[in-house]
């Protein structure tokens, strides 16, 4: 009984810390007057700062890419119970998120600055709207499985695994990777684009485009012709139907 309780508490902690990590990144990129905002602190020379920031950003992304691979999960679950694998990933991601925000080097040189209240308001609305769509995209693929709660619950209650992952519903009927697209969009949706935020935006785009190649290879290996057909019908990032 104690083990089951600890399993649920560990998974619930992973869920909460996962949500907290998202909230941290949202406020970080929004550049609010907070100590952890993307342009908070004393700026240094641009190129050394950009090098440090890209290393932080790609290190964060590399962790995601490696831990998402099937070969890593097979080895990792020899050490970590399978029902806690996703929750453990969320704890690790939270730590890397804090590290990214803490060590980020500000570069506040202005690329653009929208001062009109209406224009700025529209950009903030779009910013929060994209984050909302990204969050909603976790539900068709299994929101609680995405955040590690479902796996722990099934283990504790001895229910059969419900399965998750692939779907062609909601945003996935229009794009294959709506969450990844959201990550590429949100750094650009700001009334005040600084050089530091530009580095984040470009670095994220490069990472996502490269990581998607490996993600799709895994999906093809796992789902076979089902995913190949889906890939032929649904574009990756731009909702433009290709002619048959």
27 located within any domain: yes
Rounded distance between C-alpha atoms, residue 98 and residue 24, angstroms: 8
Rounded distance between C-alpha atoms, residue 25 and residue 234, angstroms: 29
Domain count, the chain: 1
142 located within any domain: yes
* Cα 101 to the center of its chain, rounded Å: 15
Range of the domain at 193: 2-233
181 located within any domain: yes
244 located within any domain: no
161 located within any domain: yes
243 located within any domain: no
105 located within any domain: yes
- Say what the pLDDT of residue 223 is: 87
Of residues 169, 184, 181, the one with CA closest to residue 230? 169
Per-residue pLDDT in tens (0 to 9) along the chain, 244 residues: 778 889 999 999 999 999 999 999 999 999 988 999 999 988 888 999 999 999 999 999 999 989 888 888 888 889 999 999 999 999 999 999 999 999 999 987 899 999 999 999 999 999 999 999 999 999 999 999 999 999 999 988 877 766 656 788 889 999 999 999 999 999 999 999 999 999 999 999 999 999 999 999 988 988 899 999 999 999 999 887 655 5
DSSP secondary structure letters along 171-231: GGGT-S-HHHHHHHHGGG--SEEEHHHHHHHHHHHHHHHHHHHHHHHHHHHHHTHHHHHHH
Rounded distance between C-alpha atoms, residue 25 and residue 96, angstroms: 11
103 located within any domain: yes
Contacts of 225 (CB under 8 A, 6+ apart): none
């Amino acid at each position: 009984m104690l083990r089951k309780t600890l399993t649920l508490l560990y998974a619930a902690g992973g869920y909460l810390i996962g949500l907290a990590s998202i909230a941290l990144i949202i406020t970080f990129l929004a550049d609010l007057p907070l100590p952890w905002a993307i342009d908070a602190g004393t700026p240094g020379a641009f190129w050394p700062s950009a090098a440090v920031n890209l290393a932080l950003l790609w290190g964060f992304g590399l962790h995601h890419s490696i831990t998402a691979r099937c070969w890593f999960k097979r080895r990792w679950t020899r050490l970590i119970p399978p029902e806690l694998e996703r929750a453990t990933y969320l704890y690790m991601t939270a730590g890397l998120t804090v590290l990214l925000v803490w060590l980020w080097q500000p570069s506040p040189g202005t690329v653009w600055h929208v001062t009109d209240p209406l224009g700025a308001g529209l950009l903030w609305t779009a910013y929060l709207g994209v984050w909302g769509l990204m969050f909603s995209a976790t539900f068709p693929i299994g929101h609680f499985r995405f955040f590690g709660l479902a796996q722990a619950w099934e283990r504790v209650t001895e229910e059969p695994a419900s399965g998750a992952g692939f779907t062609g519903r909601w945003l996935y009927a229009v794009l294959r990777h709506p969450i990844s697209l959201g990550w590429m969009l949100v750094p650009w949706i700001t009334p005040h684009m600084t050089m530091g935020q530009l580095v984040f935006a470009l670095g994220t785009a490069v990472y996502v485009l490269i990581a998607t190649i490996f993600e799709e290879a895994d999906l093809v290996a796992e789902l076979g012709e089902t995913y190949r057909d889906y890939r032929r019908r649904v574009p990756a990032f731009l909702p433009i139907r290709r002619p048959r």
